[in-house]
Structure 1
Amino acid sequence: MKAAAEVMGNGGMGSAYKAVMENGAVVAVKRVREMNRVGKETFEVEMRQLGRLNHPNVLPPLAYHYRKEEKLLISEYIPKGSLLYILHGDRGTDNAALNWPTRLKIIQGIARGMAYLHAELNSIDVPHGNLKSGNVLLTNDFDPLLVDYGFIPLVNPSHASQTMFAYKSPEALLQRQVSPKSDVYCLGIIILELLSGKFPSQYLNNTKGGTDLVLWAGTIVREDVPASILDPSITEGHKAEMLEMERMVRLAAELIEADPDRRPDMKEAAKRIEEVVAAADACRKQTAGASSVSHTALVTGGAPRTGSITERSRSTGDNNSFAIS
């Protein structure tokens, strides 16, 4: 595979590059580390499964390259970048656009994508395994796209426990166990991150820095002051939807319960998020309608991506590189 590439970032799972292919196509290439114990057949089976995924909030691989010493995943390049960067690193127009309706749209899209992954990848212990704001990309319309999912069967267990966010869940830290409910915990963290605008200390290995959103959420829900966690920039201009914001805070607190048995499953979590979104939309329309009536009285007196991984090798004759058609 020949391409001109620039480094986009380095993470626990490997390095990511923006690459321009010989035909001019711009793609994202992830060089995945810590998969040396995975055989070619196992790797290809998993990649084909991921390549068949088709959901507007899930970014599937376009192609892959396997060699014993390196494994590459190629996907569509999303120029806006990650939710992590836009929420915490970008103080420009993209950050300013993260008002309440936009953040709610992002939460809804993440939940829909996660529910889909849990339905389609139900043979994997933790279908995503590494859900965090750095692994949510945003389109130009602020639709979220999930990436870096489905890797748990491929990554060396010792490395997974150190780098994948599902292993920061209470059951993983205390009992060294993960399950689909570990993904639910991660969803709760990312919702609180969006609602508060704060960087979670849970993302850090030593938890020094950031904000302990688990402790904060537990405290404000017990004290019945859920609104105190909200980022002031999302409440401004949306006071009428405060009840829906508080409902989302309480739901997020359920998703991060220390006991996984007390958390809803992903399907139920997504359903309840849809209910909050519907209520917020109805409230917004009602408020807009009332405003329109008032004004009249005064005057008059958001592509599904398709494709499946095939075994067609590239024109180079490299039998280790495969593309989607």
Structure 2
Amino acid sequence: MHSAHHHYHLPLLLLLTFGRVVAADSQLKTLLVAIFLIVDALVLLILLWTIYAFCRRLKAKETGTENPPPAVEAIEKGEGMRRDEEEDAVVQEPGKITFAKDGGGFGLEDLLKASAEGLGKGSFGSCYKATLDGARMVVVKRLRGVGPVTEEEFLKHMKSLSAMEHPNLMPLLGYYFSTTEKLVISNYACRGNLFDRIHGGRRRADRTPFTWSSRLQVAQGVAQGMEFLHLNMRSSVPHGNLKASNVLLDENDNPLVCDHGLVPLIPASLAVHRMVCYKSPEYQHNRSVSRKTDVWSYGCLLLELITGRVAANTTPGGVRGGELCHWVNRAVREEWTGEVFDAEMLVQKRATSGMIMLLKLALWCCEQSPEKRPEMAEVAREVERVTAGEADEEDD
């Protein structure tokens, strides 16, 4: 009995003995406390990092930007691609550019080595003008926010877009796909975009006036390009993002519509904030878009072209605009229509009959109800009538 009692108390005696040793050795006690604190801190850091990494992955999946590509060093104007931010840099990855029939003659490494300058950020990516050996200039657009499409889906869609050949559509030279990069390559338009042509350099003495005949040429070319898209694309919204900054001008002021056909590639959650079609009256009222939404976008572009004013629905980032459709409708109602026209295109300080006809067409395209708007083919015929009428007046 006595022996069993001693065995029962043995662990307690050992613990008390160890306690006396620890208490006697203050340095050992301090060391043990320090070890416990360090371990606790490491566990806390690991826990915080795990939570942070999980939140980043969750956010990346929601925005379609998982696995962001690493930056590639780039220098502006004559020394390579400019590196403003990591997300803007063009990334060199294994693989080849797929060229349309009129493209070719260079590879991905040639683009990375080319002297280049940033052209700005659009709705779905940054653009660069790259000057290749031999002074050939191309525009490289890095698509951002593209949905979770496979390589096969992306290449198939780009192949169908590159088959869309029309004098008033900017042709695709080539495209490139990887898990982290989607690049679209096209020719460089030397006159820039329509937005800058209308609004840029207004107070500069060396500005070349944007005449009525040049604006009518743009209106007709864009209408014809849009008609072609509506006849040849199955999409419910063939363009979806028609605005002045997406109309480029060549050396003869001929318009080239770009950025068409991207609706199927962009997640709706992103497109609704960045594409013009989702700012239309029908989307605001009942969350629907259609081919007539492109017609509304064309009407807004016409109003901007005629009035020289910035349209609120299609302005680039950082630029303020007004509600042109309401303003012009009010002017027509109150019979001060002549004041809506951009003074720069009024040669004799008065509007011609062609200007009045084009203004009426713009308002027709901007009808609140899609059913009241014309088809794109009818729009193109009406602009042709205006052009023919103006030519007859000049002959007279």
TM-score (norm 2): 0.68
Deviation by residue 1:236-289 (Cα, 9 ceiling, x = unmatched): 2374x6221111111100100110110001011111111111111111221xxx
- 41, 52, 62: which is aligned to 2:152? 41
The SS at the match of 1:140 is coil
Shift of 1:209: 2.8
Change (3 A) 1:189 1:54: same
Distance 1:194 1:12, change over 3 A: same
1:218 corresponds to which residue? 329
Cα displacement (A) at 1:223: 3.2
Q: Distance in 2 between matches of 1:162 and 1:114?
A: 23
Q: Deviations over 1:189-237 (max 9, x none)?
A: 1111011011111225999832210111221233344322111121223
Q: Which position in structure 2 is the counterpart of 1:153?
A: 264
Residue in structure 1 matched with residue 93 of structure 2 by the alignment:
none
Match runs of 1:112-131 below 5 Å? 112-121=224-233, 123-131=234-242
Q: How many matched pairs?
A: 284
Give the secondary-structure state (helix, strand or coil) at the position aligned to 2:117. strand
Q: Deviations over 1:18-50 (max 9, x none)?
A: 112356531000000111411111111111111
One-letter code aligned to 2:222: I
The aligned residue for residue 293 of structure 2 is: 182
Q: Which has the higher contact order (CA 8 A, sep 6+)?
A: 1
| 1:137 CA drift (Å) | 0.4
For 2:393, the equivalent position in structure 1 comes to 283
Deviations 1:116-159 (A, max 9, x none): 111111x1111111110000001111100000000001111111
Is this contact kept in 1: 2:194–2:248, CA < 8 A? yes
Is the partner of 1:64 in helix, strand or coil?
Answer: strand
**% identical aligned pairs:** 37
Q: Is the contact between residue 185 and residue 256 of structure 1 (CA under 8 Å) also seen in structure 2?
A: yes
Shift of residue 17, structure 1, vs aligned partner = 0.6
Greater CA drift, 211-220 or 246-255: 211-220
For 2:206 and 2:322, how far apart are their aligned partners in 1?
22
Question: 1: distance between equivalents of 2:135 and 2:118?
Answer: 18
Cα 1:56–1:238 shift into 2, 3 Å? farther
- 1:111 alignment partner in structure 2: 223
Aligned to 2:193: 82
TM-score by length of 1: 0.82
Kept in 1, the 8 Å contact 2:118–2:127? The answer is yes
> What pairs with 1:130-149 in structure 2 (closer than 5 Å)?
130-149=241-260
Shift of 1:95: 4.9
Note the residue ranges of structure 2 that are not aligned, 5 or more in a row. Answer: 1-107
Equivalent in the alignment of 1:297: none
CA distance in 2 between counterparts of 1:15 and 1:96 reads 28
- What do residues 70-93 of structure 1 show as CA deviations (whole Å, max 9, x unaligned)? 100000111211011121123458
Distance, in Å, in 2 between the alignment partners of 1:94 and 1:282 is 32
Shift of 1:97: 3.3
Corresponding residue SS for 1:56: coil
Amino acid at match of 1:70: E
Whole-angstrom CA distance in 2 between matches of 1:57 and 1:93: 30
Task: Give distance in 2, aligned partners of 1:20 and 1:209.
Answer: 33
Confirm or deny: 8 A CA contact 1:81 1:138 kept in the other structure. yes
Q: Contact 1:15 / 1:30 at 8 angstroms: preserved in 2?
A: yes
> For the residues of structure 2 that align with 1:224 and 1:252, how far apart are their CA atoms?
17
CA contact 1:221–1:253 (8 Å) conserved in 2: no
Q: Is the 8 A contact 1:31 1:72 kept in 2?
A: yes
- Counterparts of 2:183 and 2:133, CA distance in 1: 17
Q: Structure 1 CA distance, aligned partners of 2:317 and 2:208?
A: 30
Distance in 2 between residues matched to 1:204 and 1:22, nearest whole Å: 35
**Residues 93 and 270 (structure 1), Cα distance of their counterparts in 2 relative to 1, 3 Å cut:** farther
More off after superposition, 145-154 vs 38-47: 38-47
What are the equivalent positions in structure 2 for 1:235-250 lying under 5 Å apart? 235-237=346-348, 239=350, 242-250=352-360
SS in 2 for 1:62: strand
Q: Within 5 Å, which residues of 2 pair with 1:48-67?
A: 48-67=159-178
Contact preservation (8 Å) 1:137, 1:145: yes
- Cα offset, 1:7, TM superposition: 1.1
Q: Indicate conservation of the 8 Å contact 1:86/1:94, yes or no.
A: no
Residue 90 of structure 1 aligns with an amino acid whose one-letter code is G
Judge conservation of contact 2:248–2:258 (CA < 8 Å) in 1: yes
Cα 1:279–1:32 change in 2 (3 A) is same
SS in 1 for 2:359: helix
Match of 1:167 among 278, 298, 317: 278
